[in-house]
C-alpha cells in the first residue's frame, strides 16, 4: 500500500529499459487539442510570405490610445520589418488588460532574472556573470515585429536559451504584450504611452 | 499456619495494579510520540542529493521564482522537478566549469535524467494535488517552510493525516491572498483575530468547500 507498483510523475521504473516510467510519444504524435493549425499563433510566422501592410505596433496593446501620436506608430519603417520578413507584426489575439497582467506575472518569473524588471538587461543572473542581453528599449528592438520576440522565446537566440518547454504558447504572447507595454512606458512622455504604462 | 506473604506485599500488589494502568497509558503516549516524531515522519531530516543544489542560493540570493523550475505547480497535481535543460539555461554560461555541476553536465550530454532523491513522499494510497491548494490560497511556505533559506531541502511538516486535517478543518487559519502564494516571507499561519478574519473572507471569496467535504475520507483516499 505504501509503495504501489504504479507509474507516478518522476518515479523511475524497472519495467522499461531506459528506467523512465513515462514513455516518449512516437515522433509526429499530436495530442488531442494540440493540433497547431494556427501558424501565426504557434510560430509567430506569417501564413503568407508576401509582406502585409505594416500594422502599427502599438495598435494591439493600446487600442483606444491615439496611436498616430505615439512614437512607435511611425517607427515601423519598412527597413526594420524587412530585417524580419517572415515574422508577424500583429498579435494573433487581442491583448487585453487581463492578458497584460498575466504577461507581467510570467515576465517576472521567467525573464526578469536576466532581463531585469524593466527590461534593461540588468537582472540578477546577469549580475552574477551571465552575458548581458540587449535592453528592450533600444531602437532596433522597439521596432522589431512581435513575431521576432516570439521566435526568440520559442527557439532561443544566441546566448539566450529557448523557453518553449517552460512557457506555454499563450503565455509567450502575453509576455510579449507586456514587453511592448514596458517599451511604451519608457519611450517618452506622450499621453498615450503613459496610459499604456499605467495599465500594468 | 504462617503467612506466606508479608504485610508489605499488599502495598506491592496495589501499586502493580495501579502501575499496570499507568504503564499502559505511558506506553501508548510514548508510541504516539514516536509515531509523530521526526524519526518516523522524516521531518527536519536534510536529504543529500546527487548535486549540491541549493534553494538558498537560487531562490533566496538570486531571487528565482519557484515557478521558473517547478513549472506545473499551478496547473497539475505534481509541482514538477526541472529537467536538466532548465539548469543548463543558466549553467551553460555561469559556473560552467564548476566541479559541483559535473553530474548536471553529464546528464545534459548523455540525456540521462538526474536522479534526485525524494524529500516529500506521501504513501501511494493518498491523493494530493498542488494546483488546488495553490489556486485556493495556500502558500508554499505554509507546507514547505522557508525553502528560500534551505541549502538542502528538508521536510518542514509531518505530512501525517493529522496535519492535513488540521488545515482542512479550519482553512481560515492558513489561507493567504493570491498574490502572496510564492512570497516566502508572508506569515505561514494566521494567528491574531484580525488575520483570521481576513482568512475567513478569503475562504468565502475563494469558495473553499466546507470542512465536511474536505475531511471526507474519499477526498484524500480515492
pLDDT of A153 over the 80 cut: yes
Q: Using CB atoms within 10 A of its CB, is residue B208 exposed (0-12), middle (13-18) or buried (19+)?
A: buried
Question: To the nearest whole percent, how much of chain A has pLDDT over 90?
Answer: 23
The shortest CB-CB distance from A2 to any of B67, B85, B124 is to B124
Contacts of A115 in chain B (CB under 8 A): none
Q: What is the pLDDT of residue B17?
A: 85
Smallest CA–CA distance, residue A130 to chain B, in Å, is 6
B71, B80, B124 member nearest A4 (Cβ): B124
pLDDT of residue A3: 80
Looking at domain A77-186, which of 1.10.760.10, 3.40.50.10420, 3.40.50.300, 2.30.30.100 is its CATH number?
1.10.760.10
pLDDT tens for each residue of A22-53: 777 888 888 777 777 788 888 888 776 544 44
Place of cell 480515492: B222
Per-domain residue ranges of chain B = 8-36, 55-63+71-81+119-220, 82-115
Rounded to whole angstroms, the Cα distance separating A151 from B119 reads 38
pLDDT tens digit sequence for A53-92: 444 444 334 333 333 333 344 444 455 656 777 888 888 8
Domains of chain A by residue range: 77-186
ipTM of predicted assembly, 2 dp: 0.78
Nearest CA in chain B to A167: B71
Nearest to B62 among A9, A125, A161 (CB): A125
Q: Cα–Cα distance between A87 and A144 in angstroms, integer? A: 9
Question: In a 3-state reduction of DSSP, which class is residue A184?
Answer: helix
User: Could you say which residues of chain B have pLDDT below 50?
Assistant: none
Residue A81: predicted pLDDT:
59
The string of pLDDT tens digits covering residues B68-110 is 999 999 998 999 899 898 999 899 888 888 888 888 888 888 8
pLDDT at residue A197 above 70? Answer: no
Nearest to B123 by CA among A112, A111, A3: A3
Q: CB A113 to CB B64 under 8 A?
A: yes
Encode pLDDT of A164-176 as tens digits.
Answer: 889 999 899 999 9
Does B88 reach chain A within 8 Å, measured CB to CB? Answer: yes
Report pTM: 0.86
Amino acid at each position: 500500500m505504501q509503495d504501489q507498483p504504479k507509474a507516478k510523475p518522476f518515479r523511475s521504473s524497472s519495467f522499461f529499459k531506459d528506467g523512465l516510467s513515462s514513455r516518449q510519444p512516437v515522433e509526429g504524435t499530436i495530442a488531442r487539442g494540440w493540433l497547431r493549425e494556427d501558424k501565426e499563433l504557434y510560430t509567430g510566422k506569417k501564413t503568407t510570405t508576401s509582406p502585409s501592410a505594416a500594422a502599427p505596433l502599438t495598435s494591439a496593446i493600446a487600442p483606444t490610445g491615439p496611436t498616430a501620436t505615439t512614437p512607435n506608430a511611425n517607427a515601423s519603417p519598412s527597413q526594420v520589418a524587412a530585417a524580419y520578413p517572415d515574422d508577424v507584426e500583429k498579435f494573433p489575439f487581442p491583448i487585453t488588460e487581463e492578458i497584460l497582467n498575466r504577461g507581467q506575472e510570467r515576465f517576472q518569473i521567467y525573464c526578469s532574472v536576466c532581463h531585469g524588471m524593466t527590461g534593461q538587461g540588468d537582472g540578477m543572473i546577469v549580475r552574477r556573470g551571465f552575458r548581458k542581453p540587449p535592453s528592450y528599449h533600444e531602437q532596433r528592438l522597439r521596432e522589431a515585429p512581435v513575431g521576432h520576440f516570439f521566435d526568440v522565446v520559442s527557439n532561443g537566440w544566441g546566448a539566450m536559451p529557448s523557453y518553449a518547454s517552460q512557457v506555454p504558447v499563450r503565455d509567450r504572447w502575453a509576455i510579449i504584450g507586456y514587453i511592448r507595454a514596458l517599451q511604451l512606458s519608457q519611450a517618452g512622455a506622450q499621453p498615450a504611452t503613459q496610459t499604456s504604462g499605467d495599465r500594468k | 499456619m504462617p503467612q506466606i506473604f508479608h504485610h508489605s506485599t499488599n502495598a506491592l500488589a496495589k501499586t502493580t495494579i495501579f502501575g499496570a494502568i499507568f504503564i499502559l497509558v505511558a506506553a501508548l503516549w510514548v508510541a504516539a510520540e514516536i509515531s509523530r516524531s521526526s524519526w518516523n515522519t522524516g521531518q527536519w531530516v536534510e536529504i543529500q542529493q546527487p548535486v549540491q543544489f541549493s534553494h538558498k542560493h537560487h531562490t533566496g540570493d538570486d531571487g528565482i521564482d519557484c515557478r521558473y523550475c517547478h513549472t506545473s505547480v499551478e496547473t497539475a497535481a505534481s509541482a514538477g522537478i526541472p529537467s536538466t535543460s532548465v539548469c543548463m539555461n543558466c549553467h551553460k554560461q555561469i559556473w560552467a566549469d564548476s566541479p559541483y555541476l559535473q553530474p548536471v553536465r553529464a546528464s545534459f550530454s548523455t540525456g540521462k535524467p538526474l536522479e534526485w532523491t525524494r524529500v516529500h513522499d506521501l504513501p501511494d494510497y493518498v491523493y494530493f494535488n498542488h494546483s488546488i491548494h495553490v489556486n485556493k490560497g495556500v502558500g508554499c511556505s505554509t507546507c514547505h517552510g522557508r525553502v528560500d533559506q534551505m541549502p538542502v531541502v528538508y521536510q518542514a511538516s509531518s505530512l501525517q493525516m493529522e496535519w492535513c486535517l488540521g488545515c482542512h478543518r479550519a482553512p481560515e487559519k492558513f489561507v493567504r491572498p493570491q498574490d502572496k502564494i510564492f512570497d516566502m516571507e508572508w506569515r505561514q499561519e494566521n494567528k491574531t483575530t484580525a488575520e483570521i478574519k481576513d482568512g475567513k473572507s478569503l475562504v468565502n471569496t475563494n469558495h473553499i468547500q466546507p470542512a465536511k467535504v474536505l475531511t471526507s475520507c474519499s477526498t484524500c483516499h480515492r
